[in-house]
Structure 1
Amino acid sequence: MELDYTPTYASWLNRIECHFSPLHKFVLEGSNYLSHDELIKAIQEYIRWWNKNKRHATILREQNKIKIA
């Protein structure tokens, strides 16, 4: 395991943020799930959609905008 330390206010340098940000935007933002089961189902549906479309040109274009130092 290799730890890479990033500056405190530089979340865009943390590669996991590339996955959590869209998850937050498409699943959590503005939502009001009545149970944990509904939330889990929504997250699973998002993950299935992401895995199906991960090579889509629009998604790849957005990923390429992120520069790794």
Structure 2
Amino acid sequence: MAALDTTRFASTGSFGLVGRIGAFLVSAVNAAVEWNDARVTRNALTGLSDRELEDIGLCRGDIDAIAQGRR
């Protein structure tokens, strides 16, 4: 009598390739989302007047650092 193990995926490497492609696509989408978030933040802060930036404790030179999440 033969037994069939259905709890494992084929180990021929095809699942690994699909996993790597999926991981690449996820990282590309994440990079695009992070870029867009930084762009939106930069545009919102650039639209503020110097007085408004001063009210929240920032100056024009801080905008890029804030948008990139470094501050």
Give 1 or 2 for the bigger CA radius of gyration.
2
Normalised to the residue count of structure 2, the TM-score between the two structures is: 0.33
Q: Answer 1 or 2: higher relative contact order, Cα 8 Å, separation at least 6.
A: 1
Structure whose residues are more often helix by fraction: 2
Normalised to the residue count of structure 1, the TM-score between the two structures is: 0.34
